[in-house]
Chains A and B, each alone.
Chain A
């Protein structure tokens, strides 16, 4: 039996449906953790972990395999790539937009104000640098008074 040869673009499109388990509005492509796709016979997907201890790493790898198997890909290899280390700069524009709609302020470069995802005010204050997951901090908007989460720069 001859294995189908897939195009990397096709694989990438399918991977757009794989959600991040902790922030399900984001796909793993929005998050920027899909580093490479190679198709020669089988399909090799290179993924980079966000944090060393990210409990989602194994879950994400399992979802990638499941998503590709569902489309009939027979041979799937997952490669874990550590370097260069993941940074929040790799979150796509689309990913940033989705975060904001979801109620999480996307990461901002140093000295740029963190704006409230609900009312867009930049009059916000940090409540705790450490939120419900390693990647988020807790903030409060001083104008609309709503609490919100901020995706920290890393």
Chain B
């Protein structure tokens, strides 16, 4: 991979994580258990969509072939998306969604902190903007995890189950592929093994405060970064891309 193609691919991947998680959260709009949570979720979803827009716009600039943020979001098929499998998982019940947020945001925050110091200004500028947002997203999702875990027997049991169910999607966050390696060597990108140590400690602390048990080592599902997605992903994309696929070039 050459310099610009690494940046194009890496920015696209960052955009994919942000967009797909944002889209999942948008599915929750008007469905939150209380008004405050409704507003928080909608605002966070907007942050993610905004981050995706910046990453895609930058990817398009690096590529230099005139692709816009919308082209990245609406005109790519499933296998070209490289988001983590975790972010595409269905919302499930409220506890499922909260666990997904905690697991992803702990990783994303640590990743962005490293990226603010990477040697590519385009990526580091966006990361510096996004890191401030993800920091309070994580504060919010962690508070909920504690409230549910340390809540009633029912909420404790259900959110423990969510944690057990989603744990298998956390492995690929720390499996470097060629792109991770290239980003690391060419632009001082994240070292995923170092990130894993930090992530484990952060997640263990939140989980302990929530009086929950960390799931043990187990088989991990991977494939998101290679464009092999879970069966849920096609449905998400079909809904998200419907308008541009049906009325190509439509604007408003």
Binding site for B on A (CB under 8 A): 49, 51-55, 82-85, 127-134, 138, 154
Contacts and interface: CB of A to CB of B under 8 A. Distances in A.
27 contacts: A49-B50, A51-B46, A51-B47, A52-B46, A52-B47, A52-B51, A52-B53, A52-B54, A52-B133, A53-B43, A53-B49, A53-B51, A82-B125, A82-B128, A82-B129, A83-B124, A83-B125, A83-B129, A85-B128, A128-B36, A128-B39, A129-B40, A129-B136, A130-B36, A130-B43, A134-B47, A138-B36
Given A52-B133, A85-B128, A131 B50 contact: no
A119 B191 CA distance: 52
Contacts of A133: 43
A51 to B, nearest CB: 6
A132 B129 CA distance: 21
B126 A82 contact: yes
A61 B51 CA distance: 18
Given A52-B48, A129-B136, 12 more contacts: A49-B129, A51-B50, A52-B50, A52-B129, A54-B46, A82-B128, A83-B125, A83-B128, A128-B39, A130-B39, A134-B46, A134-B47
Contacts of A51: 46-47, 50, 133
Interface of B: 36-37, 39-40, 43, 45-51, 53-54, 121, 124-126, 128-130, 132-133, 136, 140
A53 B128 contact: no
B39 A55 contact: no
B134 to A, nearest CB: 10
B105 to A, nearest CB: 14
Contacts of B140: 129-130
Q: Which of A49, A53, A82, A131 has the most CB of B within 10 A?
A: A53
Nearest to B48: A53
Contacts, number: 63
Nearest to A130: B40
Contacts of A83: 121, 124-125, 128-129
Contact of A53 (B39, B40, B50): B50
A128 B53 CA distance: 28
Contacts of B43: 53, 130, 133-134
A55 B36 CA distance: 19
Given A82-B128, A82-B129, A55 B46 contact: yes
Contacts of A154: 132
B24 to A, nearest CB: 15
B207 to A, nearest CB: 22
Nearest to A129: B140
A128 B34 CA distance: 11
A51 B137 CA distance: 13
Given A52-B47, A129-B140, A130-B40, A84 B130 contact: no
Contacts of B136: 129
B132 A54 contact: no
B47 A82 contact: no
Nearest to B45: A53
Given A130-B39, A134-B43, A85 B51 contact: no
Contacts of B37: 130
B58 to A, nearest CB: 9
A87 to B, nearest CB: 8
A96 B47 CA distance: 24
Contacts of B133: 51-52
A149 B143 CA distance: 21
